[in-house]
Amino acid sequence: MASETARDAEHDEERAVRYAFGLLDSGTRATFERHLADCEHCRELVQIGRDVAARLDAEAPAVDPGPRLRTRIWREIAEESRRSGARPSFWARFLRRPMARQPALLAPIAAVFVVALTLGAVLGRQFTLNEALLVVPLAGSAGGDSHVIIHRSGATEVALRHVADPPPGTVYVAWVRAPDGPPVSAGTYDDGNGTFPLAISALGKIVEITVEAKPGASTPSAAPILSAPVVP
């Protein structure tokens, strides 16, 4: 029974994709539209398919990439499936169906695959840039478990943890200074637990946290409650 239910769900998903691309015959379309009225999951799939189709109509060139590209696409999917040991996804199985061999569908399918690869590359690069390169603990009278975080992109953040909130009417100000230079205001925060970005990189410099009456202070008005040299 469970396998029949899974097969039915897979069949419905396949019909949803065909419906979104206008590939169902009139009889099947009428039957599926009755199912669609009661199935939120299939409605979502249809909307996604229509959105993809609309973008491809607007942006993708109307060309037939030919059999070589389709063969390459399937080879890539099959290789990824073998590496992961996972069952091919619905979209991978979809590419193997006879309908996926129709010339009219090769360009949209190839375009979707290229978009997915591009998005994966962008997200992978973004993940790499956001990876923490250096994490330095802040120490001082405020206690807690706070850190300065340097990302591979060069961005710097201060993560305050288990520090008391600043007194009413005041904020925490993060200062960045070179070992032999004046402090420069780089960020403010009004909570003892949270993460906030610094406007300048702190790598190779010193980060100090002070309590100030207003965020626009040009110089610290008190000794730092937390500080750390940000060096490997």
- In this structure, the number of other CB atoms found within 10 A of the CB of residue 205 comes to 22
Domain with CATH 2.60.40 in the chain: 132-229
Q: What is the pLDDT of residues 133-185, one digit of tens each?
A: 889 999 999 988 999 998 877 789 999 999 999 999 999 999 999 988 899 99
Indicate the pairing of strand 171-177 with strand 132-137. unpaired
Least confident of 36-45, 76-85, 125-134: 76-85
Can you give the pLDDT at residue 52?
Answer: 67
pLDDT at 49: 72
* pLDDT band with cut points at 50, 70 and 90 for residue 223: very high
Residue 207: predicted pLDDT: 95
Question: Which of the two residues, 166 and 18, has the higher pLDDT score?
Answer: 166
Beta carbons within 8 Å of 47's beta carbon, 6+ residues apart? 20
At the topology level, CATH places domain 132-229 in Immunoglobulin-like (2.60.40)
Q: Which residues contact 203 (CB under 8 A, 6 or more apart)?
A: 134, 150, 154, 156, 230, 231
Please write the tens of the pLDDT for every residue from 59-80.
555 555 555 655 665 566 556 5
Q: What's residue 69's pLDDT?
A: 56
Radius of gyration of the chain (CA): 28
Structure tokens at 25: 């015959």
